[in-house]
Amino acid sequence: MRVVPPSVSIRWQTRRVIVVVCPGQGSQTPGFLAPWLELEGAAERLAAYSDAAQVDLVQHGTVSNADTIRDTQIAQPLIVAASLLAWHALGAATAQAGGVAGHSVGELAALAATGVVSDESALRIVGVRGRAMADAASREQTGMSAVLGGVEADVVALLESLDLTPANYNGGGQIVAAGALDKLAALAAEPPRGVRVVPLQVAGAFHTRYMASAQPVLQAVVDEIPAAEITDPALPLWTNSDGSTVAAGTEALQLIVRQIASPVRWDRCMASFAEAGVTGIVELAPAGALVGLAKRALRGVPSVAVKTPEDLPAALELLNAGTES
């Protein structure tokens, strides 16, 4: 398969391919779920999600402060729940999507959206995932920093020389470095010319070897899902593993387990969107980060960031629009 580099501008195609994307950790803000609770059925849905994740999502999504919701075992279920609330609010228009992908923990929202597992199973998995990753992060003082700019090969070589891991290849000239806090401090103190280093408000070195202890815990909860409740994706589903589409639901779940200690290849996902002829992107709540990356890497592709219910009409318009030429 020919992969179009993410920097290539996209021209309108004769068919519509609207990709729905689900954000990852760090996109949450205090009180961001409050407006969603005003939608019919949202409170009941969120209560069920809270039970499945064993996290009070109403409390943390409406009242808790920034420090509280930065805790990965709270942040992860909040983000997946918000994405699924937005997905269901789009209703029948979701059938118009040309595919779905999630960034990091957003992959669990993508699995539920494409029908691989139920919403409740996705929230149960993400609850366990968040707690297991929080436990792994507590064992050593680690973190993550965005590295903006520079030549990718040079940045990766520098990170490896500092014993840091390129945990997220986000495309658009952004790599996320992860590892020991003193190593991240050394990177920030002397960045290469033309490179900015921005510390991220996360609690550990996710998608690296530091998360290895969380994998068997996550595997156990995945193994508890009855085979009859796992289905193949109803829509194209791209994986962070290498940007390819995953045809089997069982494989998608195994990739979720591997993902927590492996790099997120969002750059390859966006390259695959380009190869598929993407004509629009809708980012589910709490949106913004992935649309920002797409504007740099998929130039000319219209996008909608669904941050609040007020953004739903624009998303519906993009999903339901006629063919552009």
Q: Which sequence positions are flagged as catalytic?
A: 104, 207
Cα separations (Å) of 63 from 31, 94, 209? 6, 30, 34
Phi and psi (nearest 5°) for 196?
-110, 140
CB atoms within 10 A of CB 209: 13
Angle at 272 between CA 268 and CA 274, to 5 degrees: 115
For residues 262 and 165, what is the distance between their CA atoms, to the nearest angstrom? 10
Angle at 171 between CA 169 and CA 173, to 5 degrees: 100
What per-residue string of b and e applies to 270-289 under the rule 16 or more CB within 10 Å gives b? bbbbbebbbbbbbbbbbbeb
The answer to whether 101 touches 243, Cβ cutoff 8 Å, is: no
For residues 3 and 307, what is the distance between their CA atoms, to the nearest angstrom? 30
For residues 86 and 21, what is the distance between their CA atoms, to the nearest angstrom? 11
Query: Token digits for 122?
Result: 């996705």
For residues 112 and 244, what is the distance between their CA atoms, to the nearest angstrom? 18
Query: Token digits for 197?
Result: 């280093």
* Cis omega (within 30 of 0) for bond into 30: no
Residue whose pair of structure tokens reads 């069920």 in the numeric block? 48
